[in-house]
Amino acid sequence: MNTTAIVASVLRHPPVIRDFDPSHWSELVRQARAAEMLGQLRATIHAAGMIPEVPARPLHHLEVGWRLSLRHRSAVDWEVRHVRDALGELGLPVILLKGAAYCVAGYRAAEGRVFNDIDFLVPKASLPDVEIRLIRRGWLPATISDYDQRYYRNWSHELPPMDHRSRGTVLDVHHTIVPPVSGILPDPDALIRSASPVDVTGLEMFSVLAPPDMVIHSACHLFLGEFHKGLRDLYDLHVLMTDFGREESFWTGLQARAVATGLALPTLDAMTQAHRVFGTAVPEDVMRGLRAQVGAISVPRVRAWMFDKILRPPHPSCDTRVVRFARWLAFVRSHWLRMPLPLLVYHLGHKALKGDAH
C-alpha cells in the first residue's frame, strides 16, 4: 500500500483496513492526527460497520478524536447562540459558513470534524454595526500589524479574526465569499436570497447557503486560499457533493451558479480532486461544461500534479522536496488568482521583508 495516501484510502474504501499490519495503523493514526481527521476516520469506519475490526490501540486514538469532535459540536452550538444574542436585534440575515454551517444544519460533513473558528456572512453595509456588537459581547479584533489591518479592511472578503477574550473562540466575519480584490465579484445578495433558514429551535435567525453555493464557497476557500488543512477541506467537499448530489437538480444548479459567479475554476478543481482522491461520483457533462468555461486559464496536468502533492496530510511521511515545491507553487497560484499582479508583488514583497508569511 502506498502509505502517502493512507488516510484518503481508508476514507474512500474502509475495507482496506483488513490488510493492515501494525505499521500501517501507526501511519494511519499519525497522519490522521496531523490532518485533524481522526474523528472523520472513526465515523467512516463506523458507518461501514467495521469498528470491531480495528485493533484496540489505534481504535483508542480514533475514539479520542471522535469524542473531541462531539465536544467541538456542542461548543459550536453554544458559541452560535452567543452570536445570536449579540446580533439578534439587528434583524439582519446572518449566513453561517463552512464548519459552523455543516454543524448547525446537521450535515454529515460535520460528523467527526473539529472546528477551529466560526465563519459567517453578513451584508457589507452592516459590518460596522456587527463589529461593534461583537466587541461589546467580548470578541475583540485580533491584534495584528497595521499592514494586516489594511489587508483585511481594503482587500479581503472578511474582517480581521475576532477572539473572545474569555472563551478564546474565534469568529471570522465575512461580507462575501472571495476577496473582492481578485476581480471575481459574486453577488452577495444573491447568496443571501437563496440561503435557507436553519431549522433548529433558538437558531432561526441564521441561514445556511444553498447547496450549490455552499460547495462553491468551500471550493473557493480551498482552491483559492489555504491548503494547510487541504485533505480535510477536500473531504468536506466530497461528503457535501455526495449527499447533495443525490438530487439531480443539484448538479445543474452547481454548474449554473459556478458560471454565473465566475467561479468555474475552483468548482472544477473541487470536483476533479474530490473524484481523484475520494472517488466522488461527479457527472461528466457538468465537468465538461465547466472545463469549457475555464478554457486555457490553467494547464490541467500541472494542476493535477500540484494538487496530488499538496492534498496530502501535513505529516513527515508525506513530506518531500517535491511536495514542498508543489506547496510553494500552490501558494503563489492562490495569490495569483486572488490578487492583481501589482498588488501581489507589493503584498509578497511586504511579507518577505517583514518575514511573516501570511
Partner 1 sequence: MKVADVSPREFDAQLAGEGVCLDCGPYVVRITSSVREVATGLRFHYADFPLHESRGFVDFAIVVRHTSLLRRFLRPQVNFYCDGKIPFKPVPASQAFPMLEWGLNWVISTHAHDHLVLHGAVLEREGRALILAADPGSGKSTLCAGLVDAGWRLLSDELTLIDLDCGRIRAIARPVSLKNESINVVRDFGAHTQVGEICVGTTKGVVAHMRPPLESVERRGESADPAWIVFPGFTRDGRLSVQRVGKAAAFMELTRHAFNYAPLSESAFEALVRVTDACDIYRIAYGGLDEVVPLLDRMSRSAEPIA
Answer whether 234's CB lies under 8 Å from 219's CB: no
Which stretch in 22-30, 142-150, 180-188, 302-310 sits in contact with partner 1 by CB under 8 A?
22-30
Q: Give the shortest CB-65-to-partner 1 separation in angstroms.
A: 9
Find out whether 12 and 276 touch, Cβ atoms under 8 Å.
Answer: no
φ, ψ of residue 9 to 5 degrees: the values are -65, -35
Contact by Cβ (8 Å): 91, 203: no
Among 46, 48, 51, 63, binds partner 1 (CB under 8 A): 63
The SS3 of residue 206 is: strand
State in angstroms the smallest separation of the CB of 73 from partner 1.
12
57 binds partner 1 (CB under 8 A): yes
Taking the least distance from each CB to partner 1, the nearer of 13 and 57 is 57
Closest CA to 212 of 264, 281, 273: 264
Contact status: 58 vs partner 1 (CB under 8 A): yes
Smallest gap from residue 164 Cβ to partner 1 (A) = 13
Q: Shortest distance, CB of residue 70 to partner 1, whole angstroms?
A: 10
Residue 67 cell numbers, joined: 469524542
One-letter identity of residue 272 = T
Name residues contacting partner 1, limited to 32-51 (CB under 8 A): 33-34
Sole binder of partner 1 in the list 13, 67, 288, 354 (CB under 8 A) = 67
User: What is the C-alpha separation between 169 and 80, in angstroms, rounded?
Assistant: 11
Cα–Cα distance between 119 and 172 in angstroms, integer? 5
Task: Give Cα 241 distance to the centre of its chain.
Answer: 13
Applying CB under 8 A, which part among 65-73, 145-153, 279-287, 302-310 lies near partner 1? Answer: 65-73
Which burial class, exposed, middle or buried, applies to 348 when counting CB atoms under 10 A from its CB (0-12, 13-18, 19+)?
middle
Q: By CB under 8 A, name the one of 15, 47, 60, 320 that touches partner 1.
A: 60
**Residue closer to partner 1 (CB basis): 58 or 179:** 58
Cα 174 versus chain centre, distance: 14
Nearer to partner 1, 21 or 284 (CB): 21
Q: What is the DSSP letter of 196?
A: E
Q: How many residues bind partner 1 (CB under 8 A)?
A: 24
Q: How far is the CB of 166 from partner 1 (least distance, A)?
A: 12
68-87 residues in contact with partner 1 (CB under 8 A) are 68, 71, 74
Q: How many helices (H) and strands (E) in the chain?
A: 16, 7
Among positions 2, 23, 143, 166, the unique one binding partner 1 when judged by CB under 8 A: 23
30 versus 174: smaller Cβ distance to partner 1: 30
CA end-to-end span of the chain:
35
d(CA 331, CA 312): 15
Residue from 10, 25, 76, 335 binding partner 1 (CB under 8 A): 25
Nearer to partner 1, 117 or 319 (CB): 319
CB of 315 to partner 1, least distance (A): 5
**Residue with the three cell numbers 500589524:** 145
Binding mask 284-323 for partner 1 (x = CB under 8 A): ------------------------------xxx--x----
Smallest gap, in angstroms, from Cβ of residue 201 to partner 1?
21
CB proximity list for 64: less than 8 A, separation 6 or greater: 38
Task: Give the list of residues 6+ apart from residue 17 with CB closer than 8 angstroms, or none.
Answer: 10, 45, 50, 53, 54
Does 30 help bind partner 1 (rule: CB under 8 A)? Answer: yes
Question: What residues line the site for partner 1 (CB under 8 A)?
Answer: 21-23, 25-26, 29-30, 33-34, 55, 57-58, 60-61, 63-64, 67-68, 71, 74, 314-316, 319
